[in-house]
Structure 1
Amino acid sequence: MSSQRRGTTSFSRWSGLATVAFFVALAAIIATIVTRMASNQTQTTPFLPEQGCQVTVDGFTTFLNQEQAANASIIVGESIRRGLPARAATIALVTAYQESDLHNLDYGDRDSIGLFQQRPSQGWGTVEEIMDPWYAAGKFYEALVKVPDWDTGVINDVAQAVQLSGHPDAYAQHETKGRAWASALTGYSPASVSCIDRSETPAAASEITDFLARVYGEAVTWTLDGLTLQLTTPGDPITWSVAHLAMLRGALAGVETVQVADMMWINADGEYTMWQTVEPAVASVVITLRG
């Protein structure tokens, strides 16, 4: 009887060990399959940065998606059109960051709408007018230049004087971003912008030329030879302003490369490429469009 119990116990132990070994082996097989699947997925679908544009000024880098980039180009472009200094563009960008994060919103607090959350009931214009980014930016600048010492005062306080926000100290948090973009887009920080566009938008040179005609008038001229747009400017900082603004409009125009003097930027799907040294350009700015 005692011998039978020992035999039963030995069998039970062997059976238990066999079961454990089976599940350990099964777990190892599953882990191997999962690892291989993850490896294959990584190889076939690599991480790609979000499409848009980034700027780097004095070691600080910030990013805008394609919608934000297009709106930023209009905000800065309107300041240039009005002959205002870069500081005006900084204040406008700081304000739009806070009010809408540079999105043209059709909603907001009470009847606030648009890039600057302007209110039709407060005399900023009709809904249709305010939803036009060019109009909204223009109305902002009209109000801005009426603020005493707007060009020397604290940016947060100047923005608040225009907006009369319920959050009067909120604008300051966006100042570094606003300064970086204003500096680059008005041409005072050369070769500081890079973009990614994977949309395969066909070439549309008018998206750039119409924009530049509105911003710079006859100061900037151009010729279009096939897919190559050659622009002539009066010189810096306008040259770099034209180049950077064109890049922010690039997703609408199918921009592939931008060259200023012996510096070229090339659109790349997977990374924000740096400007590189090449043979000198034949015009102030040379832009090639997607075929």
Structure 2
Amino acid sequence: MHPVDPAAQKLTDALPTTRSGDAASTERTIGRHRAPEPPPRRTRLGSTPVRVALATGVTCCLGLGAFAAARGTEDAPQPVRPMADALADRASIADERASRSLDRDAAPARVIPTPTASPTPTAARKAAPKKPVKPRRPRPVAGLDQVQMDNAKIIVDVGRELKMPRRALVVALATAMQESNLYNLASDVLPESTQYPHQGSGADHDSVGLFQQRPSSGWGTVAELMRPSYAARAFYTALAEIPGWEDMSVTAAAQAVQISAFPDAYAQHEERASTVAAALTV
């Protein structure tokens, strides 16, 4: 026997230990009897791994071109970053942009409410409907009470509406003072007259109202004559039909309309009637 060569012994110890039953593995790993490796598997051009490889290559080329252009603008040369780091940075930026885009799409649109103009207290007060203003009652003059003065105002207002002259107003007031003392009177002879607003009653046949006009004489119906404005209009209409009434005395003009049994009675009221007419036509 030959003594064991120490160098050969070291080589033997360094070789990996294999199982005796795996002959093919032993043949592939040692000497010239190593089994040939199988040829690489061919992949179709349109398969997914190929497309991924092509896309990765194009991306690398674009990244390297941009990186080279940036380097050309710098004064001092800079160390080239590894391609893997550049690709990782681009992927990170793309993911961040995609995340922001998804956040914006997912977030609901903010609706800004349209401000509604609320009325100010001053505008509200101006817009509120105003209550009708009651006409101011005239202050009584010439010894009249308020009811008499109110009736006198109706007589004057109707005369002015008809464009009657001032003297006609005096004639009408003097006539009403004599006939009813400026009260709207019903008649005890006509029970119907008491169904309407009145301020007392008389007993002179069927005479009613401020001017004691008789329905039986054609002045109007009881309902009409019990309205002071209608009674005054009827008096002015009859006065305007008398020729030359403007040149007559108050007593003569009143008597021409009323045909009273006491024709001189109207003269006593002329001064008071003039005072009331002046107070109501200021």
Structure with larger RCO (C-alpha < 8 A, sep 6+): 1
Range class of TM-score, shorter chain: 0.3 to 0.5
Normalized against structure 2, the TM-score is what? 0.45
More strand by share: 1
Computing the radius of gyration from Cα coordinates, the structure with the larger value is 2
